[in-house]
Amino acid sequence: MVYDIPAPMLAKSVPAVPDPDLTDCGLSFEPKWDGFRAIVAWDGSDVVIGSRGSKPLTRYFPELVDAFSRLLPEPCLLDGEIVVARDDGDGRRLQWEALSQRIHPAASRVALLSEQTPAMFIAFDLLARGERDLLAEPFAVRRAELVDLLRAVPDPIHVTRATDDVETARRWLAEFEGAGLDGVVAKPLAAPYAPGKRAMYKIKHARTADVVAIGYRIHKSGSGVGSLLVGLFDEDGDLHGVGGVAAWSDKRRLDLVDELQPLVERDADGAAITGESDRSRFAASKDVSFVRLRPERVLEVRYDQLEGRRFRHTVQFERWRPDRDARSCTFDQLETVVAYDLADVLD
């Protein structure tokens, strides 16, 4: 039996935990886990761990490959999140930095980290069980099958908590941040699984987006990265600049030059290729040249508002996303603010 790994179903941002009474079919609420999204295929012989983008994650988590092959009671296709938790003195918390270090090219390093910072898998959907395809089943059915399948499976495989009580979900949103989680997800109980579609709702503590590094400007001091230019792909696959990330420390500016060096686009003579960004009429004399980068490296940023198809203000660096494929960084992940008439504000 061979499973085809579908694109994961996605979520769209909403500003608050939605009221189930406002929907036609009711909602199930879950904690939003802060890790690597993964769809796991276990056919009874081989394990494949697919990611949200095109990067397979199988080789980076040998301890999970071993756990899936030993512990899963039957062939299945699971949707969930890979996380790493560590004790920080006040209890266990999710540790993004430790998780991101697991994406390493050296097999020896991967093997060492699998022992030092072992990962867990948090399952939150079941897409196939044995020879039964469950994609068309309502989420309520898939959830019940997931709980039944994994009820006796021990650590490091877990089933996420879930509730249909909106007040519990709102409490989770406030409380679970202290454990390193970053919000709540709401899923329509009657909805089938929709690969690649934003058919769920996510409520996060801040607006964030995954963007692609497309270039950098040299700092005004003449050394180091002054600002990192970032972009997003549109529905046609074209890449657009959407803003910049700044406010690096002196040491970090210098380190970034070395980190980004392998991505610098070069001409036939080996010289770095430069470009020019749009020039502001308020700073007509400002140097807007930048070093071009191959659009391959993904980072997560915090932002406040959009203006058209660009971030209104400089965004803040949150973290690198080695698990994300650059092509998966598209405009449709951005939260769209509902229009509001200025006249209603002035009245």
Question: Residue 146 above 90 pLDDT?
Answer: yes
Question: Encoding tokens for residue 198?
Answer: 């934003």
The residues, any chain, with a CB within 8 Å of residue 295's CB and separated by 6 or more, are: 212, 213, 214, 231, 239, 326
Q: What single-letter DSSP state applies at residue 179?
A: G
Confidence of residue 176 (pLDDT cuts 50, 70, 90): confident
Distance CA(163)–CA(20), nearest Å, equals 11
Using an 8 Å Cβ cutoff, are 125 and 78 in contact? yes
* Between residues 23 and 213, the one the model is more confident about: 213
- pLDDT recorded at residue 205: 73
Strand locations in 130-288 (E): 132-133, 157-159, 183-188, 198-204, 208-218, 225-233, 239-245, 274-276
Question: Encoding tokens for residue 321?
Answer: 């996303």
Measured at the CA of 322, the angle between CA 87 and CA 50, to 5 degrees, comes to: 95
Q: What is the pTM of this model?
A: 0.76
The residues, any chain, with a CB within 8 Å of residue 17's CB and separated by 6 or more, are: 29, 166, 169, 170, 173, 184, 186, 203
What is the pLDDT averaged over residues 123-152?
98
- pLDDT recorded at residue 52: 80
Question: Residue 2 above 70 pLDDT?
Answer: yes
Pairing relationship of beta strands 10-13 and 198-204 according to DSSP bridges: parallel
What is the pLDDT averaged over residues 206-233?
92
- pLDDT recorded at residue 230: 97
Question: Encoding tokens for residue 221?
Answer: 């001091």
Confidence of residue 129 (pLDDT cuts 50, 70, 90): very high
Least confident span in 59-68, 76-85, 124-133, 324-333: 324-333
- With a pLDDT cut of 90, the percent of the chain lying above it is 67
- pLDDT recorded at residue 341: 41
- pLDDT recorded at residue 278: 56
- Residue ranges of the domains in the chain? 10-204, 208-333
Q: Which residues pair with 71 in a beta bridge?
A: none
* Between residues 179 and 3, the one the model is more confident about: 3
The candidate with the shortest Cα–Cα distance to 17, out of 164, 186, 200, is 186
- pLDDT recorded at residue 345: 31
What is the pLDDT averaged over residues 155-180?
91
* Alpha carbon 326 to chain centroid, angstroms: 11
- Residue recorded with tokens 């040998």: 62
- pLDDT recorded at residue 346: 32
Distance CA(168)–CA(176), nearest Å, equals 11
What is the pLDDT averaged over residues 162-181?
89
- Residue 107 half-sphere exposure toward CB, CA atoms < 13 A: 2
220 is catalytic: no
Distance CA(210)–CA(196), nearest Å, equals 16
In CATH, what class is 208-333?
mainly beta
Distance CA(321)–CA(102), nearest Å, equals 11
Using an 8 Å Cβ cutoff, are 325 and 56 in contact? no
- pLDDT recorded at residue 337: 54
Distance CA(156)–CA(119), nearest Å, equals 7
The candidate with the shortest Cα–Cα distance to 250, out of 229, 287, 222, is 222
- pLDDT recorded at residue 177: 79
Using an 8 Å Cβ cutoff, are 76 and 42 in contact? yes
Task: Please state which architecture CATH assigns to domain 10-204.
Answer: 2-Layer Sandwich (3.30)
pLDDT tens digit sequence for 42-62? 999 999 999 887 679 999 999
Helices (H) and strands (E) in the chain, counts: 7, 21
- pLDDT recorded at residue 343: 39
Q: Which listed residue (12, 32, 202, 204) is catalytic?
A: 32
Q: Which helix H or strand E contains 140, and what residues bound it?
A: helix 139-150
Question: Residue 202 above 80 pLDDT?
Answer: yes
Using an 8 Å Cβ cutoff, are 229 and 277 in contact? yes
Average pLDDT, the chain: 88
What is the pLDDT averaged over residues 55-70?
96
Question: Residue 287 above 60 pLDDT?
Answer: no
What is the pLDDT averaged over residues 304-325?
85
Question: Residue 340 above 50 pLDDT?
Answer: no
Question: Residue 118 above 90 pLDDT?
Answer: yes
